[in-house]
Structure 1
Amino acid sequence: MSKNVRRRGRKLARKKRGNWFTRMRTWQKVLVCFVGVFVCLLATAATYVAAKWSKVDTQEIKAEDLIINKEVQENIDLGEGYTNVALFGVDSRDGNLGEGNRTDCIIVASLNNETKEIKMASIYRDTLLDLSEGTYQKCNAAYSYGGPTMAVNMLNMNLDLDIQDYVTVDFGAIADAIDLLGGLEMDVTDEEAYYISEYLQETADSAGKEAHFLDYGGHMVLDGAQATTYARIRSTAGGDFTRTERQRLVIEKIVEKATQTDLGTLNKIIDEVFPQISTSFTLPEILNYAKAYKDYKLVGNTGFPMDLTTDTLSELGSVVIPQDLASNVSKLHEFLFGTTGYTPSSTVNTLSANIAYTVSTAGSSGTSSTETNASEAGQTYSEEGNSYGGSQDYTEQEIPETTEPVIPETPPVDDGSQGTGGTGDTGGAGNAGSGGEIPGSGTDTGGSVEGQ
């Protein structure tokens, strides 16, 4: 038999038997088709999500660049039971969310991984702290000098925290998100309505929105520009203290509205707001939180420091001074983690002494110091996530420019554990002069809305 005849015979035999798919039973064919469609949909969804995530400015904070106080690293409950995130709000007009921007808003958000409860603590932007390199200035300067890494290290060192991730937004992103959510229901006083209208145009111009001015207060729905301006007012009694309350309230309202919105709206928010965000979170981490976002709930907020004084110091301007940093850190840990009788690390005790030394040697410019505590500063904790209570009569003042930062020449405490970099016991900052590489300036360049 010829080769051609044999080949034709094999082809006919194969046609009768059919290929692997035709030889399957009906239910097997259906299953294969279903799996194929599912794989295609999964690939399409992954491509879709990745395309959206590519719009986000992702900045990894390397482990070797983090400063976490030694005692905090050894605290297993704090490290595993909670996820702590730094939230920064900057006023960026050019889309840059990195170095060069002072933070108008600094919030530590602590997520209880078991109960899904979230607590927030606003760090007053004018609080005198170690910027993480031995320089004692207003804490909002850390982001300007070293971006999110330096700002996170500043929080970790001074507050005994283990923050490893951050999220930074500009106020245009907040305004866009609020508008897409349909606005926020707020109770606005007549005084707040006046200041909203006073500074609304600049906020609207910055966010690329139309300004809708208010004639009076009341219970109303604020649009994005109005709500953002509301969160930035610092001209009322309480100054920056009450402003941080407004910031936390706006965040609470956004979260509340977001949990009730539909997927289409959330998709629009992702498209418009993601390009205005910088974060260290990876896409898998974001997706993991996104799956359970409706399970999380805000249960309380406060301001830090709880016990404080205010003064105007030479070359530093008006500052918020912790009345003993160590005791304030103990109260913060009790609020965030329910840890009663928390003993601050040796690093925090060093910084506490150095802050007191810096204040005593900086010299007051003549403005009298005012002492207050949590209730007087309007920092009262609420289980429902609402802040209420009185406010302190404190108004920020313009800060004179200076060429050199104020650093104590002979720190009162030096236990040899100070340093920067790494993840060991590196938090101390009594090393006078180590901050000399950071351009010293007391000038507050963060807020662009004058008088707020």
Structure 2
Amino acid sequence: MGKHEKKGKKKKRIWPKVLISILVVIAVIFSGGYFYIHNKLSKMNKVEVDKADLGISQDISTNYNNTDKIKNIALFGVDAPDGENGRSDSIMIATIDPVHKKLKLTSIMRDSYVNIPDRGLDKINHAYAFGGPQLAIKTINENFGLNIEDYMTVNFSSLPIIIDALGGVDITITDEEVSHIPGISAAGTYTLTGDQALAYSRIRYAEGGDYKRTERQRTVLEGLFAKALSMPASSYVSILDTVLPYVQTNMSSSTILSIGTKALTSFEGQLEQQRFPLDGYCEGQMIDGVYYLTFDAETTKKQFMDYIFKDTLE
């Protein structure tokens, strides 16, 4: 695979807005009361994972410093009927890194050809369908050398409800994207409804393919949190009541509050974005009639680990 010039890190000067926990902390500050917000957080759908079986290697702490201080959380967007796991068509890692004073949002390409434990080589987004968050997290950790123990999952079917609860999300639509979004007839910046934003995030057959698709999904998440942070604090209570029941996680209320507090108090308003495998180190390939994104596994694993734990990308 040719090692072409890869894209640099994407940086945007905006308040950190990676996790729903940030909204929670703001609600604590303005609406008052740890126990009140603790009760709100209990509305989330709690599904535990076995932390002893998540594929975390001891080599991480051996080869990298301060890994215990860097928190990685898996964010899954699944597309499935209620009660079923479905495939994780959106896979992101939220990194809270007080060592380098960074917040990062890293996407993993859904078609990445990886080894799924006890299943063999397949697309990474199938891991969630095979074994829910337990297997999905283990697959990420084993293939990319991460130390993920916690996750949040939102079903795409509930995304419109969440977006509409926030009054829509502001997105800039290009000429090529117009035909894919109902109710939009020309390029420009619009406040999209939940259904329109979902259609935007699902665009696949356009220039850039799945690479651009993952960027659109990050754009929707970014727009969501930007919108939330621009709203009056008095509106957060009703928003949390609407949004939280659609979030599945293994994290306790106390953990989320702690993470949110750290994120708000330790960083300078910068969200850094990246995507793996990197351009130039991967290529699309048909295997037995199925499209996969193949890549140099060892090189990509080292690049991913260096980026997360050393804040370098070579």
- TM category (shorter chain) comes to 0.7 to 0.9
Distance 1:248 1:135, change over 3 A: same
2:220 corresponds to which of 232, 244, 250: 250
With 251-260 and 330-339 compared, the bigger mean Cα shift is at 330-339
The answer to which structure has the higher strand fraction is 2
SS in 1 for 2:177: helix
Is 1:215 aligned to 2:185, yes or no?
yes
Instruction: Tell me if structure 2 keeps the 8 A contact 1:52–1:270.
Output: yes
Give the superposed CA RMSD.
2.4
Tell me the residue number matched to 1:335.
307
Q: 1:312 is aligned with what amino acid?
A: M
Tell me the residue number matched to 2:126.
141
Tell me the residue number matched to 2:113.
128
Matched positions, count: 279
TM-score by length of 2: 0.81
Percent identity, please.
Answer: 32
Tell me the residue number matched to 1:164.
149
Distance in 1 between the 2:61 and 2:114 partners?
21
Is 1:314 aligned to 2:288, yes or no?
yes
Tell me the residue number matched to 2:57.
69
Matched ranges for 1:7-406 at <5 A: 48-75=36-63, 77-94=65-82, 96=83, 100-114=85-99, 116-133=101-118, 135-197=120-182, 213-291=183-261, 294-295=264-265, 297-306=269-278, 307-314=281-288, 317-322=290-295, 324-340=296-312
Deviations 1:263-300 (A, max 9, x none): 23222221111111110111101122344554454522
Larger radius of gyration: 1
TM-score by length of 1: 0.57
Distance in 2 between the 1:69 and 1:337 partners?
14
Q: 2:191 is aligned with what amino acid?
A: V
Distance in 2 between the 1:341 and 1:250 partners?
25
Structure 1 position 318, deviation (Å): 0.5
Q: 1:214 is aligned with what amino acid?
A: I
Distance 1:64 1:335, change over 3 A: closer
Instruction: Tell me if structure 2 keeps the 8 A contact 1:167–1:279.
Output: yes
Structure 1 position 245, deviation (Å): 0.6
SS in 1 for 2:176: helix
Deviations 1:234-255 (A, max 9, x none): 1101211100011111112222
Instruction: Tell me if structure 1 keeps the 8 A contact 2:160–2:195.
Output: yes
Instruction: Tell me if structure 2 keeps the 8 A contact 1:252–1:298.
Output: no
Gapped runs of 5+ residues in structure 2?
1-31
SS in 2 for 1:179: helix
Matched ranges for 1:420-439 at <5 A: none
Instruction: Tell me if structure 1 keeps the 8 A contact 2:38–2:254.
Output: no
Distance in 2 between the 1:147 and 1:195 partners?
30
Distance 1:178 1:298, change over 3 A: farther
Distance in 2 between the 1:240 and 1:300 partners?
20
SS in 2 for 1:74: helix
Distance 1:126 1:301, change over 3 A: same
Distance in 1 between the 2:189 and 2:41 partners?
37
Distance in 2 between the 1:339 and 1:290 partners?
21
Structure 1 position 134, deviation (Å): 5.2
Q: 1:178 is aligned with what amino acid?
A: I
Distance in 1 between the 2:128 and 2:106 partners?
18
Distance in 1 between the 2:150 and 2:303 partners?
23
SS in 2 for 1:312: strand
Distance 1:283 1:176, change over 3 A: same
Distance in 2 between the 1:237 and 1:101 partners?
26
Instruction: Tell me if structure 2 keeps the 8 A contact 1:259–1:294.
Output: no
Tell me the residue number matched to 1:437.
none
Distance 1:335 1:292, change over 3 A: closer
